[in-house]
């Protein structure tokens, strides 16, 4: 008997549902507790843009900000931001702790991102990730690190440290494979030190819809029938690589030592083009041992009319053919995904700067 609630059914089918949003009112109003109880919500992801909207766009945080400033008036806007964010992330992680325990540490995760201006700074990323993980001091925290080339080196070091990592801003299959390899190298380093592997969790956040947004205008002129297909095709190919990695000899040896697979997480799964079905990037990417982190509107839509079927491994040949058509149309997919990474990092840096400016402005008006 399938669950009446499609979100619960999706979790039961092996794809974990996470929520791509956090705001203090969600925690204080009981909304998060309700999502966990009713929908079997299994995790939360945040990013600089989400926090910018939450903190700059509401008065939710004014009281906490006033309290922080009274405690230490000399704090920088960055210190103030992390004080506020850590409170939210901790409260969410405590609410999701039963999910973490029930799934033996697979789910119940809450992600907090390192400062986006560290995207190309290996040592800075490692230092801040360690500080945040130690400060939160809960097992069901993931630190988000952008999957830039320097980010990969940070990921390897953090996994070796035993820190749960959500590797974010992945757009290409090749970069995803590099991320998976960095995860395995981190586990190797840890095993070589005789340290346990069994409680380390990691996801590789593969961004979906933005690829169609970038390619559709070109495809509209050259091959209109391919519009709205490439992002899902790219994701399906990434999953094929994942299946190969987790069934390979390298991972088998680590699994025997207690390691878990680094799951693929579908991010950027809201539909940007109103002409497309609202669940285009959810319905077509359902498969075992994956995560879909849905923004509020997509989450509500799936709860209302989502259909659960094992679609991720369907039509893989068609997906390969769609991707193979791009060079013939003069489209260099790796150049497009490289640009999306640059744009993604820049957008998060801009959100972070706006957020810090908003915190400074609020701090001045609070007159502590």
User: Hey, which residues are catalytic here?
Assistant: 144
Residue with the two structure tokens 């706006």: 354
Of 153, 147, 142, 148, the C-alpha closest to 167 is: 147
CA 42 to chain centre: 13
Q: Which two tokens stand for residue 361?
A: 């402005």
Q: Taking every pair of C-alpha atoms in the chain, what is the biggest distance, in angstroms? A: 63
What are the angstrom distances between the C-alpha of 170 and each of 137, 167, 290, 300, 338? 27, 8, 15, 25, 10
DSSP H or E run through 212 = helix 209-222
CB 233 within 8 A of CB 322: yes
CB 268 within 8 A of CB 293: no
Evaluated on CA atoms 250, 254, 255, 261, the torsion sign reads: negative
CA angle 133, 144, 106 (to 5 degrees): 75
Of 178, 188, 159, the C-alpha closest to 255 is: 188
Of 115, 169, 106, 184, the C-alpha closest to 140 is: 106
Rounded CA-CA distance 30/33 in Å is: 5
CB atoms inside a 10 Å sphere around CB 96: 25
Of 296, 20, 242, the C-alpha closest to 144 is: 20
Distance in Å from the first CA to the final CA of the chain: 58
């Amino acid at each position: 008997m399938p669950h009446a609630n499609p979100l619960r059914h999706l979790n039961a089918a092996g794809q974990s549902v996470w929520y791509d949003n956090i705001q203090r009112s969600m925690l204080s109003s009981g909304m998060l507790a309700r999502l966990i109880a009713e929908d079997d919500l299994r995790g939360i992801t945040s990013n600089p843009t989400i926090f910018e909207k939450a903190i700059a766009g509401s008065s939710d945080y004014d009281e906490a900000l006033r309290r922080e400033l009274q405690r230490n008036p000399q704090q920088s806007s960055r210190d103030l931001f992390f004080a506020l964010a850590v409170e939210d992330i901790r409260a969410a992680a405590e609410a999701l702790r039963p999910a973490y325990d029930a799934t033996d540490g697979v789910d119940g995760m809450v992600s907090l991102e390192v400062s986006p201006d560290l995207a190309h700074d290996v040592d800075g990323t490692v230092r801040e990730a360690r500080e945040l993980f130690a400060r939160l001091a809960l097992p069901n925290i993931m630190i988000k690190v952008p999957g830039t080339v320097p980010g990969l080196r940070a990921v390897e070091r953090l996994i070796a440290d035993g820190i749960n990592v959500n590797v974010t801003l992945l757009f290409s299959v090749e970069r995803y494979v590099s991320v998976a390899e960095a995860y395995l190298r981190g586990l190797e380093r840890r095993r070589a030190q005789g340290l346990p592997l069994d409680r380390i969790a990691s996801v590789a956040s593969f961004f979906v819809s933005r690829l169609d947004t970038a390619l559709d205008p070109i495809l509209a002129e050259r091959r209109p029938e391919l519009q709205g297909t490439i992002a899902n095709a790219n994701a399906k190919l990434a999953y094929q690589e994942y299946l190969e990695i987790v069934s390979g000899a390298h991972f088998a040896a680590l699994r025997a030592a207690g390691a878990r697979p680094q799951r693929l997480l579908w991010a950027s799964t809201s539909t940007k083009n109103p002409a497309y079905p609202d669940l285009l990037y959810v319905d077509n990417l359902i498969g075992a041992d994956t995560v879909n982190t849905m923004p509020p509107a997509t989450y509500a839509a799936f709860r209302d009319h989502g259909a659960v079927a094992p679609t991720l491994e369907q039509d893989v040949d068609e997906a390969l053919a769609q991707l193979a058509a791009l060079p013939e149309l003069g489209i260099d997919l790796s150049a497009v995904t490289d640009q999306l990474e640059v744009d993604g990092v820049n957008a998060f840096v801009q959100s972070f700067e706006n957020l810090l400016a908003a915190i400074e402005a609020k701090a001045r008006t609070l007159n502590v």
